[in-house]
Every structure is written in C-alpha cells, then in structure tokens.
Structure 1
Amino acid sequence: MKWILFDKDGTLIHFDRSWMKIGLQLVDDFMIQYESAIGDVTEAYKRLGIVNNEIQQGTVMASGSLDEIINAFDNLAGQDVSSWAQQRSQTLVDQRVPENVWVEGVDQTVKALHQQGYKLGIVTSDTKKGVEQFLTDTNMHKYFDVVISTEANAVEKPNPEVLKPLFDNYDVDSIDVMIVGDTANDIKTGKNAQLGLSVAVLTGVDIKETFTEADYILPTANQVLDILN
C-alpha cells in the first residue's frame, strides 16, 4: 500500500453528534412538511430508523447517503421530495457547529503512518467547510495529502468517481490504495473503485453485519498499522 484514505466521522473522530442532530431535525421537518401524505408518523419514524428520538445503527438515517435518505422520504411521502430535502439538508449543514473528538489513539496512528512514508487522504461526506474546521481544530493539515469532500467535489460515496481528485492529481494505481471507513458505503466505494484494500472499523454508525464486502473488520483505525506491518 502507498495511499491510505480515511473517512472522517466515525473513523478518525467519534461520530459527530451534530450530524445526528441534523438527521433528527431533517426527519422532524420532513414529517411536518409532508404530514398529510405520510399517514402513520410513528411508523414512518421507525421505518427511517429512529426510535425514542435516537438514530439506530445500520439504518438509512445513520449511514445512508443523502440520495438514499431522499429515496426513503419519497417512498414514505409517495412523491418526489428531493428539491425540498436537498435545500433543507443544506441549510441544516450550513448551520452545523462541528464536534471534533478523536477516536482514542487514532491521531497518533495517523502521525505514525505519515512518518512511515504513507500518503494519507480524507474522503468524507462532510462539507469542505466542515473538514477544514476539523483539520484546523486538530492542527492536522500537514498529515493529509488529499482531502475530498462531497460538497466540494459533487460526488457521493459509494460512487467511485468520488476518488477522481486523487487519481487525477497523483500518479497512483488503485491497487496501491487502502480505504478505511465505518459505513458500508465506505467499503462499497473501495470495491467500486477497485482499491487494493477496503477496511471497516467498528467505531461509527454501521454494525459488523453490514460489512460483508470488507477485506478486514477492525475495532478501530489503530489496527491499520497491524495490517500494514
């Protein structure tokens, strides 16, 4: 391996509770906006994976892409709600105050990998603003050679095109790239892009049973060093 790409939330840092707050608020707003079309609101919350005002692991609201969430909304409302959902989601994201708390030891793992000569990158569904805040708050700019965000690069995981900024700007073969993430979409990104290794970690929003395509399933990103060594 020459390159290691990390998801951010749930992989490098503990899944940011501010994202959960956004998800819950988006669903609440959806229920109000389309109440007459939804019918049984209590059942609708359950179908989206929300129980007792908590987003459950392995559900569309926990780890689905925005497109997948909108598709779930469409099914519940019986109509196309994409325009409303995209606008409301962007407003909530713009208002978000991020929380950046490292998964224990992962900051040191990143520094060790950098010292050993690996090229490192971030591939996140966060906005460009959000990932810049993370890098500034943690003083980690110098450790990451490429940063890819959904908003800035206009493609979502698991579409392999999300990795275009890496392959367009660096001379690297896909077989020499590892991706590390906490969702099935992270793993699917690696498989769709034919990366050398797709590694799942259990520090985020998806459960072990969803990682059927992962080459390795690790407790945390710290164990990446064991794989490489």
Structure 2
Amino acid sequence: MKWILFDKDGTIIYFDCSWMKIGLKLVDDFMETYEHSIEDKSAAYAHLGVVDGEILPGTIMASGALDEMVQAFCDIANQDVTDWAQRRSQTLVDNRVPENVLVEGITESLETLQQQGYKLGIVTSDSKKGVEQFLEVTDFAHFFDVVISTEANAVEKPNPEVLNPLFEQYDVAPEDVAIVGDTANDIQTGVNAKLGLKVAVMTGVGLKDEFTKADYIVETANDIVSILDK
C-alpha cells in the first residue's frame, strides 16, 4: 500500500451527532412539506429508519448516500422531490454546528503512518466547509495529501468517480490504495474502485453484518497500522 484514505465521521472522529440532528430535521421537514401526499406517516418514518425520534443504525437515514435518501423520499411522496430534498439537505448541512470528538489514539496513528512513508487522504460525504472546519479545529491539515469532500450534485460514495481527485492528481494504482471507513458505502467504494485494501471500523453507524465485502473489520482506525505491518 502507498495511500490510505480515511472516511471522517465515524472513522477519524466518533460519529458526529450533528449529522443525526440534520437527518431528523430533514425527515420532519419532508413529512411536513409533503404531508398531503404521504399516506401513512408512521410507515414512512419507519421506512426511513426513524423510530421514536431516533435514527436507527444500518438504515437509509443512518448510512445511506444522499441519492438513496432522495429516492426514498420520492417513493414515499409518490412524486419527484429531488430538487427540494437536495436544496433542503444542503441548507441544513451549511448551517450545522459540527462536533469533532477524535477517536482515541488517532493522532498517534496518523503520525506513525506518515513517518512510515504512507500518503494519507480524506474522502468524506461532508461539505468542503465542514471539512475545513474539522481540519482547523483538529490541526490535522498537515497529515493529509488529498481531501475529497462532497458538494451539492457531486458524485458520492460508493461511486468510484468520487476518487477521481486522487487518481487525477497522483500517479498511483488503485491496488496500492487502502480505504478505511465506518459504513458499507465506504467499503463498496473500495470494491467499485478496485482498491487494494478495505477496512471497516466499528466507531460509526455501520453494523458488523453489513461489512461482508471488507477485508478486515476492526474496532478503530488505529488498527490499520498493525494491518499494514503484517
């Protein structure tokens, strides 16, 4: 391996609860905006993974990509709500207050990987604004050679094109790249892009039985150090 790509939320930091707040707000706004088109609100909430005011792990709203959420909204409303959902989601993301709680030991692990000569990157569904805030608060910018964020209407994980900024900027083969993340979408990105190593971590919203395509399932991103040492 030459490159290690990390997801951010749920991998480098513990899953940011502000994302759950955004998800709940988006669902509530959807239910209110399209209430006349929704036949059964309780069933709609359950389908999206919202039960008793909480988002359940492994559901669409917990770990699905935005396009999966939008498609679910369209199905529930029996109409195309794509424009509304994308605009409302972006507004909520732009106005969120992030929570950055580092996974214990991650600073030392990043330092070790960097000293060992690995190139490091971030590939996240967060916006550029959110990533910049994270890098400023943590003072982690010096660790990462490439940072890939997701803006409105851009491709998202697990579409392999999300990694184009890496492959267009650097001469590296996919088999020399590892990806570390907390959701099935992170792992599927590695599959779709034919990356050489896919490592799932249990510090986020993903469930262990979702990681059938991972090469390793570990407790935290720190374990990538010992995996590479093998």
**TM-score (ref. length: structure 1):** 0.98
Could you tell which deviates more after superposition, 35-44 or 168-177? 35-44
Cα distance in 2 for residues equivalent to 1:196 and 1:153: 28
Distance 1:153 1:119, change over 3 A: farther
Give the aligned partner of residue 95 of structure 2: 95
Q: Residue 177 of structure 1 aligns to which amino acid in structure 2?
A: V
Q: Which runs of 4+ in 1 moved over 2 A?
A: none
Tell me the equivalent position of 1:62: 62
Task: Pick which of 109-118 and 123-132 moved more.
Answer: 109-118
Q: How much has 1:226 moved relative to structure 2? A: 1.1
Deviations 1:47-89 (Å, cap 9, x if unpaired)? 1101111110000000001100001111111111101101110
Cα offset, 1:104, TM superposition: 1.4
SS at match of 1:117: coil
The reply on whether 1:83 has 2:83 as its aligned counterpart is yes
1:226 aligns with 2:226: yes
CA-CA distance at 1:166 after TM superposition: 0.4
* Secondary structure in 1 matching 2:148: strand
Residue 131 of structure 1 corresponds to 131
Superposition CA RMSD, Å:
1.1
Q: What is the CA distance between 1:150 and its match in structure 2?
A: 1.1
Q: Comparing 106-115 with 146-155, which one deviates more in the overlay?
A: 146-155
Q: Which residue of 1 aligns with 2:173?
A: 173
Q: How many residues align?
A: 229
Aligned with 2:151: secondary structure?
A: helix
Distance in 2 (CA, whole Å) between partners of 1:91 and 1:133 is 17
**Which residue of structure 2 lines up, in the alignment, with residue 31 of structure 1?**
31
| % identity of equivalent residues | 68
**1:106 partner letter:** I
- Residues in 1 aligned to 2:104 and 2:140: alpha-carbon distance in whole angstroms: 16
Partner residue in 1 for 2:163 = 163
Give 2:2's aligned residue: 2
Give how far 1:151 is off. Answer: 1.2
CA distance 1:26–1:166, change in 2 (3 Å): same
The answer on whether the counterparts of 1:9 and 1:204 sit within 8 Å (CA) in structure 2 is yes
1:36 deviation in Å? 1.2
Matched letter for residue 39 of structure 2 = G
Do 2:86 and 2:152's aligned partners in 1 also have CA atoms closer than 8 Å? no
Deviation at 1:134, TM superposition (A): 0.4
In the alignment, the residues of structure 1 paired with residue 84 and residue 95 of structure 2 have an alpha-carbon distance, to the nearest angstrom, of: 17
Contact 2:90 2:152 in 1 (8 A): no
User: Which residue in the other structure is 2:17 paired with?
Assistant: 17
Per the TM alignment, residue 154 of structure 1 is displaced from its structure 2 partner at its CA by 2.1
Letter in 2 for 1:143: F
Q: d(CA) in 2 for partners of 1:111 and 1:27?
A: 39
Given the alignment of the two structures, is residue 184 of structure 1 paired with residue 200 of structure 2, yes or no?
no
The unaligned stretches of length 5 or more in structure 2 are none
Work out the CA distance in 2 between the residues paired with 1:215 and 1:9. Answer: 20
Match of 1:109 in 2: 109
Structure 1 spans left out of the alignment, 5+ residues:
none
Q: Does 1:150 align with 2:150?
A: yes
Conserved 8 A contact 2:178-2:196: yes
- When normalised by structure 2's length, the TM-score is 0.97
